[in-house]
Amino acid sequence: MTGSRPGRIWGLVAGQAASRGARVSAGDACAAAVVTVDVTGAWLNAARGAEAGHLMHATNEVSEQLAELEVTLGEGPGRDASTSGGPVLASDLAERQAIRRWPVFAPAACQAGAAAIFAFPLRVGAIRAGVMSLYRERPGSLSAFQLGDALVFADTATLLLLEAQGQAAGGLRPQAGQPADLALHRAEIDQATGMLTEQLGVGIADAFVRLRAYAYVNDLRLTHVAREIVARRLRLRPEPDSSDGGTG
C-alpha cells in the first residue's frame, strides 16, 4: 500500500529513477537513501555469497573511495555485514571499539572523510546479493526511524539487484544509471588480476591478493595499480621461493 513505509520508500526510489529518465535500478535505492536517511553518501556492492563483490553504484567520490578501501584492506563494516548477514552500524569510526575492530580501515576511512558508516546486507533468505553502505561525514547514530527506512531501502535494492542479475543471464552487468567509469574500474581490476596470473604463475585468488597487497603497501588506490598493470607500466614479480631463505 502506498501509505505503508515500503510504499513510501518505493515512491522515493521510483522518483529518483524518473528524475534521470531511466528504469528503476538498485542504484536509485542507494541514491534515494542518502536524502531520506540523512547521510552524506552511499555505495552498493554486488556479490554472490560471501565474496567481496564489486562496486555497482557510488553517490560521490568519497563513497567510491570507501568501497575501494574495504576491498584493498580486506576489512570494514561492509565486509562484516556481508559475512555476518546482518547490519553493521559504526556510528563513530574514531572510537576505540571501531579502531579495534577495523584497525587499518577505520583510520583510513576517517582520513577519506567518513566519520560513521552503516552497512546493510542485501539478502533474501539464503540468497546474498551484496551490501549497501551509507556514510556520514560527522559521527552519530541513526535514529530508529532512519534505521527503519534504511532497512527498507536495502530490501528494495536487494530485489532490484536480483532482478538485474537475472536479466544478465548468469553474469553481472553494470546497471542503468551506473557511472561508466565504475564499469571501467571493475574491468581494469579484472584485467589486471588476469594479467597477474600469467606474470606470477598463480591462480585468480592469489593474483587478487597480490594486487591488493601492492596497493596497500604503497598507499595507492587499487584502481590506480590495476591501470598501471593493464598499461604495462607496472609489473609485479613472483614471490621469492621459501627455499631461498626468504631473501631477494
What are the residue boundaries of the structural domains of the chain, listed by start?
5-167, 180-233
- Rounded Cα distance between 27 and 13, Å, is 9
pLDDT at 161: 82
For the ranges 61-75, 185-199, 234-248, the lowest mean pLDDT is seen at 234-248
**151-166 per-position pLDDT tens digit:** 999 999 988 887 776 6
Outline where DSSP puts E strands in 68-205: 88-90, 116-124, 127-136
- Rounded Cα distance between 248 and 236, Å, is 14
Helix (H) or strand (E) run with residue 45 in it: strand 41-46
Helix (H) or strand (E) run with residue 217 in it: helix 204-217
Strand-pair partners of 89: 118
Q: Which of 7, 9, 3, 2 is nearest to 153 (CA)?
A: 9
Return the top range by mean pLDDT from 116-120, 180-184, 214-218: 116-120
Asked if the model's pLDDT at residue 227 lies above 70, the reply is yes
pLDDT at 159: 85
Return the top range by mean pLDDT from 179-183, 227-231, 237-241: 227-231
CATH 3.40.1000 given to domain 180-233: no
Query: Distances in Å between the alpha carbon of 193 and those of 51, 68, 93, 117, 161?
Result: 16, 15, 31, 29, 25
**Averaged over 28-35, what is the pLDDT?**
95
pLDDT at 107: 97
| Cβ pair 33, 44 in contact under 8 A | no
Whole-number average pLDDT of the chain:
83
Nine-digit cell at 238? 613472483
Architecture, CATH, for domain 5-167? 2-Layer Sandwich (3.30)
Q: Cα 146 vs. chain centroid, distance in angstroms?
A: 21
pTM of the model: 0.74
Higher pLDDT, 96 or 23: 96
**Averaged over 186-198, what is the pLDDT?**
77
**105-151 per-position pLDDT tens digit:** 999 999 999 999 999 999 877 778 899 999 999 999 999 999 999 99
Asked if the model's pLDDT at residue 95 lies above 90, the reply is yes
Domains 5-167 and 180-233 share a fold: no
**Averaged over 94-98, what is the pLDDT?**
96
Nine-digit cell at 216? 596497500
Q: Quick one: pLDDT band at residue 64, thresholds 50, 70, 90?
A: very high
